[in-house]
Amino acid sequence: MLGIIIGVSAVIIIMSLGAGAQSLILGQVKSLGTNIIGVMPGKSEKNAPPAAAMGVVVTTLTYDDAMAIKKIPHISGVVAYSKGVANVSYGKNNFETNISGTTADHLFVEDSEMLTGRFFNKKEETNLARVAVLGYGVKKDLFGATDPIGKKIKIKNLKFEVIGVTKEKGKVAFQDYDNQIFIPIITMQKSILGVNHIGLLRAKVDQKENILFAMEEVRSVLRQRHHIKDKSGDNDDFTVRSSDEALEIISVVTNSLNYFLGAMAALSLLVGGIGIMNIMIISVNERTREIGLRKAVGAKNINILSEFLVESVFLTLIGGLVGVLLGIVISFMIFFVINKLGYDDWQFIVSPISIIVALLVSGTIGFLFGLYPAKKASKLSPMEALRYE
C-alpha cells in the first residue's frame, strides 16, 4: 500500500502546488492593473512570451518609442525601463542591488506612492541628472533610521543625490519594488549601462474599453517608427500585450505544466501497482492450501478470481484514501508556510477532480495488477493445491 499512498499523495500535492502557483502568478499580474498595455522588444508567437521575457537581450525598443506612444489618444501615461544590477554604497554600507532606469510617469503607471521626498521630474529624466529614489528596503539597508533626503550615495562609483523614498510595496509580479533604486532612464542608459535601448515599456490606458484601440495604435506607431510596412504582424520586432492577454497566456502555460507534473507524479502509481502484484503473487503461494480447500468444497474459479481481485482493489483503494488525506494535509502545510512568507495570492486549492482521478486510477491499478495473481490462483488444481507444502 505504501507505493499507492506515496503515488496518490504526490499527485494531490503536485496538482495543489500547480493550482496554488497559478493563483499566485495570476494574482500578481492582476495587481499590476487591468488597463495596462505592455510592450517588449522582439516578436513573439501567439500565446507565447517574447524572447526578451526569456532572458534574451533584444535591442529593438528605444526611449523615443516610449515618448511617441505617450502621444497616442487614450494613453494617459507611459513608463519605460532600462534595468541592471550595480554596486551601491553609503558610508560603510556597500552592496549590490537592482537599479531601475525609469521615467517620471513611474508612480502614476505603477500605482506607487512616495514615503518621503519626491520622484524625479521630466526635466531630470532627460538631462542626465544624478538623482535617485530609494525603494523602502534599500533605504533601510543603506541608512537605517537616518533621513536619506539630500544625502549622496554612490552607484557604480558615481555620486547620486537621494531625493525620495517610495512606500513599502513588496513583490508585485515577482519584482521586488522595495529592493531597488530608481534613477532617470537616460542617466541609466548613458552613465550606468552604456546602451541606447530599453527593456520594457508599460502604457496606462484611460479606460478599459479603449485598450484594443490603444493597442492597435501602439502597433501602428511602432511599425511606422521601425519602418515595417507589413501590417500583418509577421515582421514586427516588438510584442504588444494587454493584461488580459498576459493572464490568458500564463493560464495556458501553467495549466500545461500542471498537467505534465501531475502525469509525472502519477507514474509513481505504477510502481505501487507492481508492488501490489508482487505481494498478491506471494499471497497466492502462501494460501495455496486454502485455495485447494475452498475448491474441494465447491468454490468455482470465478469465486477464487473474485476474492483475489477484491483484495487487490481494496488494498489500492485504502492506499488511495490514505494518500489523498496525506496529500491534502501536506498541501495545506505548504500553503500555510508560503502565506507566512508573504505570498498572500497563493491559494489553498485541492481540486475534487484530482481526488476522483487519483482514486479511480489507484482502483484501476489494483484491478489490473491484481488480475494476473487472481487468474493464477483460480486455475490451481484442488488436488495439487491441497498437497502443496
Q: Which of 51, 141, 30, 47 minimizes the C-alpha distance to 96?
A: 141
Is the predicted pLDDT of residue 89 greater than 60, yes or no? yes
- The overall average pLDDT reported for the chain is 83
| pLDDT at res. 354 | 77
| pLDDT at res. 130 | 95
**Contact call for residues 160 and 183 (beta carbons, < 8 A):** yes
| Alpha-carbon distances of 15 from 27, 226, 258, 263, 344, rounded to whole Å | 18, 44, 6, 10, 19
Average pLDDT, integer, range 175-193: 90
Higher pLDDT, 234 or 211: 211
| pLDDT at res. 51 | 58
| pLDDT at res. 344 | 74
Q: Where are the domains of the chain?
A: 2-25+248-386, 59-236
| pLDDT at res. 100 | 93
CA pair distance 202, 209, nearest whole angstrom: 17
Is the predicted pLDDT of residue 72 greater than 80, yes or no? yes
User: Which of 7-16, 132-141, 222-231, 268-277 has the weakest average pLDDT?
Assistant: 268-277
Share of the chain above pLDDT 70, in %: 89
Question: pLDDT band at residue 149, thresholds of 50, 70 and 90?
Answer: very high
| pLDDT at res. 7 | 81
| pLDDT at res. 101 | 94
Question: pLDDT band at residue 207, thresholds of 50, 70 and 90?
Answer: confident
Average pLDDT, integer, range 39-51: 72
Is the predicted pLDDT of residue 387 greater than 70, yes or no? no
Is the predicted pLDDT of residue 28 greater than 90, yes or no? no
Is the predicted pLDDT of residue 380 greater than 60, yes or no? yes
Q: What is the pLDDT of residues 242-294, one digit of tens each?
A: 777 666 767 777 777 777 777 777 777 777 777 777 887 777 777 777 777 77
**Contact call for residues 183 and 100 (beta carbons, < 8 A):** yes
